[in-house]
Amino acid sequence: MTSAIRLQLALDAPEHLALVPRLAPYFDVLEVGTPLLKRFGLAAIDTVRELGGGKPVLADTKTADGGTLEATMVFAAGATMMTVLANASLATRRDAQSVAEQYGAEIVFDTILDPHLDPEQLLDGRAPEQLWLALHAPSDMRKAGMQDDSHIIRVADQRAHGFLVSLAGGIRRSNLPQVLEVAPEMVVIGSGVTEASDPEGQAAWIRDQIEAAAPGR
């Protein structure tokens, strides 16, 4: 799998765990979603890593405080990435980033609470290409019809600033061409695959589209 765009599978419900061995070959990163972390705790990280054949695991902690403690817990449990709220305090962001560096792991700063947050405030002396920024459409707002695909439109601007961009929320067949056009570094797929009537077929189709859009193809 040589695409410049990486695929992340979001797992939010207990029944999604049974899909991991079947879907892991199509994805680059496996996400232990916030509901799974709350249901099963840190054990979910190791479980998903084992079921996924050792694929990298992101823990969607959405950390708002306690950066050192939470980062230490999830990285010691085997996660290679975790989310921290982009509008968490500077101290929390620094602490989590420091622990991530100790483990050779990565922090993804999630804008779910403030989609129009100025990402420049996240730099803290770092180059933008060293930071992951998640443009995340909240699921409850999407279900209520209060969220459109504007998070996709914002990808190009953040990439132009040099950030590594993860795009999450409502990615599906109908808007995948738009997603591929703006080319975030990571595309997060959840219910579009896990709730599909044919999860493997859907995952294979998405992977094929991303591979076809890879540079040099």
* pLDDT tens-digit readout, 18-60: 999 999 999 999 999 999 999 999 999 999 999 999 999 999 9
The one-letter amino acid at 126: R
Q: Provide the mean pLDDT of the chain.
A: 92
Amino acid at 165: V
With contact defined as beta carbons under 8 Å apart, do 31 and 57 qualify? yes
SS3 10: strand
Q: Which two tokens stand for residue 109?
A: 């700063």
Residue 112 in 3-state DSSP? coil
Asked whether 168 and 137 are in contact (CB, 8 A), the reply is yes
Rg (CA), the chain: 16
The domain made up of 13-212 has a fold known as TIM Barrel (3.20.20)
d(CA 114, CA 48): 29
pTM of the predicted structure, to 2 decimals = 0.93
Domain boundaries, the chain: 13-212
In the chain, the amino acid numbered 141 is: M
Whole-number Å distance between alpha carbons of 128 and 51:
33
| 84 three-class SS | strand
* Whole-number Cα distances in Å, 54 to 25, 50, 58, 83, 129: 11, 6, 12, 20, 26
125-to-44, 90, 216 alpha-carbon distances in Å? 34, 12, 34
SS3 label, residue 47: helix
Question: For the packed helices 67-76 and 90-103, what is the interaxial angle rounded to 10 degrees?
Answer: 30
In this predicted model, what pLDDT tens digit does every residue of 82-137 receive, in sequence order? 999 999 999 999 999 999 999 999 999 999 988 788 888 889 888 889 899 999 88
Token look-up 């797929």 returns 189
Report the distance separating Cα 33 and Cα 112, nearest Å. Answer: 14
Determine the pLDDT at residue 115.
79
* pLDDT attached to residue 30: 98
What local confidence, expressed as pLDDT, does residue 187 receive?
A: 97
